[in-house]
Structure 1
Amino acid sequence: MRSGRTFIISGPSGVGKSTVLNALLARHTDLAFSVSATTRNPRPGEQNGVHYHFINVDQFREMIARHELLEYAEYVGNFYGTPKQFVDDNMARGRDVILDIEVQGATQVHTLRPETVRIFIAPPSWDELERRLAGRGTDSPEKIQKRLVRAKVEFQMAHTYDYFVINDTVDGAVRELEAILIAEHCRPRERMEMIDG
């Protein structure tokens, strides 16, 4: 049985990562999506354990102390982190795991696990990113500007990733992600292990 791989998806807030990932996961039920832990409050319609594991700051600090997080970071005043157990259990069962995390967390994971595949999702333009952020209707103009400043910082890290996907259309972005998933399982080391086994 092949071992699972870990794929990190990063990109600026408002780029449409959630929409693209939901479409990918709907087409590939064999993929495991890692639900992050966060200290931020749920947005309308978000469910605990589905969109995030919503916990308080003390609980988050306990997870850090017990080394239960693969990575963690503070973003716009809240903590976010990836529970390690879920990732390891699914990879051991041969399932690929998708992590939706920002660039700081991606660097932490890649330092610990260099075999992790990193994919950066970008908007087709900065104007479009601003339009998408404003269209969500969840942030004040000041918070949107903070997110745009943060996006420029994140974009400067994009060249360190393994792949770069532009989310012009959801279907196009999903097709590119599918191609990446297939390509990564065609690497010689994995294929030769299958033949030798």
Structure 2
Amino acid sequence: MNGIARRGLLLVLSSPSGGGKTSVGRALRETDANLHLSVSLTTRPPRPGETDGIDYHFVDEPTFLRAVAADAMVEHAQVYAHRYGTPRAPVAKALDEGRDMLFDIDWQGTRQLRAALPGDIVSIYLLPPSMEELSRRLAARAQDDAAIVARRMAQAASEIAHWDEYDYVLVNRDFDETVAAARSILAAERLRRSRGTGLAPFVSRLLGS
């Protein structure tokens, strides 16, 4: 905030599978040194090109459940056959240090995150331009077989039904325009007065000078 200390924020991107949240998040981070990906724990196996500790912390189910029992997660959910969750400690540290974290999570995780840290969340939901286009994008991704694509499409409607729980909603028709809109949202939210932990001391010095 123009050299004035501020509290970090948690930027949440959600969409149905294939809706673009991972790609949009990656594009935001490529041009923003203060936007750090929250690395979730998951029990699902790595997809091609994913790296443990960078994309996710890949763990078995007993390890995941121990972290939940120890209250070491700020949010967690089961999505399809696998569990996902966010470790608590790095989130608290980033917020206190004025660093922003990006979350690629679903509506269940977003709801839990907002309940745990209500003043720190900025949430964006990405809608597909049509269900036909969503199906095409899932098929083009070539990461899942036809049965999994069909299951994801069947689940998409129930996921999209939670769009109105988000602060901002973007229709992802054009990738570059969607990234630009998300970047504008992030820039504005960083300037909220409520996040400016250094504003009161700055104004005090300003008036005392």
Into which bin does the TM-score normalised by the smaller protein fall?
Answer: over 0.9
**Deviations 1:58-114 (Å, cap 9, x if unpaired)?**
100110011111111111100111111111111111011111100111111111222
Structure 2 unaligned segments of length 5 or more: list them.
202-209
Higher alpha-carbon deviation: 132-141 or 25-34: 132-141
Q: Would you say 1:69 and 2:73 are equivalent positions? A: yes
Which of 166, 178, 189 does residue 194 from structure 2 map onto? 189
Q: How does 1:27-176 map onto structure 2 within 5 Å? A: 27-115=31-119, 116-176=121-181
Partner secondary structure for residue 79 of structure 1: strand
Task: Let me know the Cα RMSD of the aligned residues.
Answer: 1.3
Percent identity over the alignment?
Answer: 37
Partner secondary structure for residue 119 of structure 1: strand
Instruction: Determine the C-alpha separation between the residues in 1 that align with 2:10 and 2:22.
Output: 17
Partner secondary structure for residue 9 of structure 1: strand
The Cα shift of 1:168 comes to 1.9
Number of equivalences: 196
Instruction: Determine the C-alpha separation between the residues in 1 that align with 2:102 and 2:156.
Output: 21
User: What is the TM-score when the length of structure 1 is the normalising length?
Assistant: 0.94
Structure 1 unaligned segments of length 5 or more: list them.
none
Which residue identity is paired with 1:144? Answer: V
The Cα shift of 1:142 comes to 2.1
Please tell me whether the aligned partners of residues 138 and 149 of structure 2 are also in contact (alpha carbons under 8 angstroms).
Answer: yes
**Deviations 1:95-142 (Å, cap 9, x if unpaired)?**
111111001111111112222121101112111100010111122222
Instruction: Determine the C-alpha separation between the residues in 1 that align with 2:194 and 2:45.
Output: 43
User: What is the TM-score when the length of structure 2 is the normalising length?
Assistant: 0.89
Instruction: Determine the C-alpha separation between the residues in 2 that align with 1:188 and 1:40.
Output: 40
Which residue identity is paired with 1:69? Answer: M
Which residue identity is paired with 2:44? Answer: R
Please tell me whether the aligned partners of residues 7 and 99 of structure 2 are also in contact (alpha carbons under 8 angstroms).
Answer: yes
The residue aligned with 2:26 is: 22
The Cα shift of 1:28 comes to 0.3
Instruction: Determine the C-alpha separation between the residues in 2 that align with 1:44 and 1:33.
Output: 19
Partner secondary structure for residue 11 of structure 2: strand
Which residue identity is paired with 1:166? Answer: V
The Cα shift of 1:166 comes to 1.8
Which residue identity is paired with 1:66? Answer: A
Which residue identity is paired with 1:175? Answer: A
Higher alpha-carbon deviation: 2-11 or 165-174: 165-174
Instruction: Determine the C-alpha separation between the residues in 1 that align with 2:39 and 2:153.
Output: 25
